[in-house]
Amino acid sequence: MKKLLIILSIILVSKVDAKFVNGTVYDENGNGIALVNVTIEGTSNAVVTDINGFYSIEVPNERSRLVFSLTGFVTKKIKVGKQKVIDVTLKYRTIELADEEDGSGEVEVLFSAPAKMEKNKSYYKHSRGAVSRSMLGSGGMMYDQTLNHNTEEYATIHENGFRKVLDKPLSTFSIDVDAASYSNMRRFINNGQLPPKDAVRVEEMINYFGYEYKNPTGKDPFSINTELSKAPWNEDHLIVQVGLQGKKIEMDNLPASNIVFLIDVSGSMNAPNKLPLLKSAFKLLANELRPQDKVSIVVYAGAAGLVLPPTSGNDKKTMMEALDKLSAGGSTAGGAGIKLAYKTALENFVEGGNNRIVLATDGDFNVGASSNADMERLVEEKRKDGVFLTVLGFGMGNYKDSKMEILADKGNGNYAYIDNMREAKKVLVNEFGGTLFTIAKDVKIQVEFNPAVVQAYRLIGYENRKLNDEDFNDDKKDAGELGSGHTVTALYEVIPVGVESSFVKNIDPLKYQEQKGEIVSNSDELLTVKFRYKEPDGEKSKLITEVVQNKVSEANNNLNWSMAVAGFGMLLRDSEFKGSMTYTSVLELARSTQGKDAFGYRREFIELVDLAKSMSPRQ
């Protein structure tokens, strides 16, 4: 009993002591250094510094030691103690590397520190051979760790506006279980920056979290959950929550898997938060596999190749060894890699099983089929064979979010961004079934609003998932997938009839046809929501219908939390629809409705909002 009390005391003290430490890493001339790996000694918890050298990391207690490391600099270790801000200066060092071209000679890479060093530039000289490929970026260029150069790409988001019900009574969209935008947003904030507006997809932020919806009990693979309450940012508006809860299938009952790891090993992946993090993440996934599962590994750089033939899930040693041997270098033939991965998956296809490619990359394709349109057509063609696609994004600076989102959307799959090992564990261990096992595909939602009680509505997020109304009944039209145990949440902001609003715009009367006719409606109904889905191997969709009554109630924890996250997303986007929402009101709403938080994701959200508040002029 005494031992148990001591253990509990240690756990409780560690939990209380946990805190965030931040600071800036400088070179000897006072320039901030990008991409320094900041690790808690003895753990896999790590972050990297941003382009200005800033970092922020959660440490378990005051006894923790931070390790600061980067190729070309002397590694430094510092005990945290009571410090909340730890600024560090790293010294340059000379590195001697073997010549990888022919095995002869040496290369000396000298990072000098001249007194009048130009800001944000690194100086080096080399002799007696070629620079090691481990020091090269894509295309053989020297990878300058401190160069202030950002080529990240995000698709433009035109935020959904309010639609008058009399003009457009139907709203149709595909579900989205991706959560990449949330973890990418977190990476920006933890590195001391607010994210670009187009990096913020509000629906992905909302769907990063699980919700306590009722489990499905009938023959359909998911349950439908709806809620209606007042909008926290506009007291005259209402919020409708539509939530899906996927059926949870126990691990022992999941079908056999045929998984192809498709790994980008090009030069652009040569950074601590890219290939090294990727390899550690895939080891977590490999540990989850069963004897009936099999894994292949395809890699691509200037060309594509099979480095691990299909291997049983119980031969983890062989998988780990194959991952350990991977190193980065060369250009990026993403299209060739995808083709070989699909070929490998089809050659080992498991009838009735889970056939899936897991692509890990920063998305910086530059050889062969590489444009967004090329990649979209390639994946659309390949998905017809029954192979699903999961996309895992890594890295910063040259990250191509827009390309990877297209790949996942068009490849019958999902998309996550891995910024640390905790996120890797969330996606590949905690949510293993939802990430890799599809229980329903081509899931579409169509909502019809009752014009007798609803004047106008706005779908919050899902801008790149909208469908034409006629697509709802078209089984040839692709839509989103739902995984085992996954939840999907969508929010509508509603303006009731009789509420004056500047968001409701009138159009001129039509010249060649009459205006909308008489309203025939049951005023007790707010809306009707319809769902279509297919079985994972099916081609014909099934229809479910649910009616939402016009009864406003106090928001439950599910709705309050999703509204807090949506409000935060609107603030980050500086949305014209944010109303009276502030970072302070988001914090108040989130703290009052945190609910069960087994893995600490909601607590982390509150900390992120607090950090963003301190960085923003809007309070």
Worst-scoring range by mean pLDDT, 373-377, 534-538, 568-572?
Answer: 373-377
Worst-scoring range by mean pLDDT, 136-150, 356-370, 438-452, 461-475?
Answer: 136-150
Q: Is 198 in the same domain as 300? A: no
Amino acid symbol at 268: S
For residue 45, the model assigns a pLDDT of 79
For residue 121, the model assigns a pLDDT of 32
Looking from the CA of 601 toward its CB, the CA atoms found within 13 Å total 21
Give the pLDDT band of residue 28 (cuts 50, 70, 90): confident
Please give the helix or strand (H or E) that residue 103 lies within, else none: none
Provide the 3-class DSSP secondary structure of residue 378: helix
State yes or no: pLDDT of 142 exceeds 80.
no
Worst-scoring range by mean pLDDT, 123-137, 163-177, 352-366, 404-418?
Answer: 123-137
Give the pLDDT band of residue 366 (cuts 50, 70, 90): low
| DSSP class of 161 | -
Residue 4: count other Cβ atoms within 10 Å of its Cβ. Answer: 8
Give the pLDDT band of residue 149 (cuts 50, 70, 90): low
State yes or no: pLDDT of 511 exceeds 90.
no
Rounded distance between C-alpha atoms, residue 514 and residue 167, angstroms: 12
Residues 480/176, Cβ–Cβ less than 8 Å:
yes
Q: Is 384 in the same domain as 318? A: yes
For residue 71, the model assigns a pLDDT of 64
Q: Is 404 in the same domain as 315? A: yes
For residue 596, the model assigns a pLDDT of 82
State yes or no: pLDDT of 590 exceeds 90.
yes
For residue 617, the model assigns a pLDDT of 74
Q: What is the pLDDT of residues 178-211, one digit of tens each?
A: 999 999 999 999 988 999 999 999 999 999 999 9
- Per-range mean pLDDT, top range of 8-22, 387-401, 483-497: 483-497
| Residue spans of alpha helices (H) in 176-250 | 180-190, 202-206
Q: What is the pLDDT of residues 316-352, one digit of tens each?
A: 999 999 999 998 887 777 778 888 999 999 999 999 8
**Could you tell me whether strands 163-164 and 454-459 are parallel, antiparallel, or unpaired per DSSP bridges?**
antiparallel
Q: Is 82 in the same domain as 211? A: no
| Contacts for 43 with CB less than 8 Å, ≥ 6 apart | none
**Which residue, of 40, 70, 89, is where some domain finishes?**
89
Q: Is 337 in the same domain as 196? A: no
State yes or no: pLDDT of 364 exceeds 90.
no
Worst-scoring range by mean pLDDT, 132-136, 167-171, 246-250, 430-434?
Answer: 132-136
Q: What is the full DSSP assignment across 13-82?
A: HHHHH-EEEEEEEE-TTS-B-TT-EEEETTSS-EEE--TTSEEEEEESSTT-EEEEE-TTB--EEEE-TT
Q: In b/e form, how buried is each residue of 516-526, taking b as 16+ CB within 10 angstroms?
A: eeeeeeeeebb
State yes or no: pLDDT of 55 exceeds 90.
no
Mean pLDDT over all residues of the chain?
84
Token pair, residue 55, equals 């970092």
For residue 517, the model assigns a pLDDT of 57
Residue 257: count other Cβ atoms within 10 Å of its Cβ. Answer: 20
State yes or no: pLDDT of 612 exceeds 90.
yes
| Contacts for 18 with CB less than 8 Å, ≥ 6 apart | 58, 59, 60, 61
Residue 150 within any structural domain of the chain:
no
Q: Is 449 in the same domain as 318? A: no
Beta strands in 499-610 (DSSP E): 525-534, 542-549
For residue 267, the model assigns a pLDDT of 87
Q: How far is CA 141 from its chain centroid? A: 29
For residue 184, the model assigns a pLDDT of 96
Rounded distance between C-alpha atoms, residue 457 and residue 472, angstroms: 19
557 against 378, higher pLDDT: 557
For residue 213, the model assigns a pLDDT of 95
Looking from the CA of 549 toward its CB, the CA atoms found within 13 Å total 4
Worst-scoring range by mean pLDDT, 12-26, 74-88, 174-188, 598-612?
Answer: 12-26
Q: Is 423 in the same domain as 484? A: no
Mean pLDDT of 476-492: 94
Provide the 3-class DSSP secondary structure of residue 390: strand
Residues 181/459, Cβ–Cβ less than 8 Å:
no
371 against 283, higher pLDDT: 283
Token pair, residue 263, equals 């790994």
Q: How far is CA 603 from CA 486, 510, 594, in A?
A: 21, 53, 7
Please state the domain count of the chain.
3
Q: Is 467 in the same domain as 549? A: yes
Residue 377 within any structural domain of the chain:
yes
Token pair, residue 302, equals 């200037």
Residue 107 within any structural domain of the chain:
no
Task: Supply the range of the domain harboring residue 406.
Answer: 255-435
450 against 367, higher pLDDT: 450
Mean pLDDT of 75-100: 75
In 3D, which of 188, 219, 334 has the Cα closest to residue 268? 334
Mean pLDDT of 244-268: 91
Percent of the chain's residues with pLDDT above 90 = 58
The three-point CA angle 335-203-58 to 5° equals 85
**Which residue, of 43, 73, 89, is where some domain finishes?**
89
CATH code, domain with 406? 3.40.50.410
**Which residue, of 33, 60, 89, is where some domain finishes?**
89
State yes or no: pLDDT of 99 exceeds 50.
no
CATH code, domain with 563? 2.60.40.1230
For residue 43, the model assigns a pLDDT of 82
State yes or no: pLDDT of 24 exceeds 70.
yes
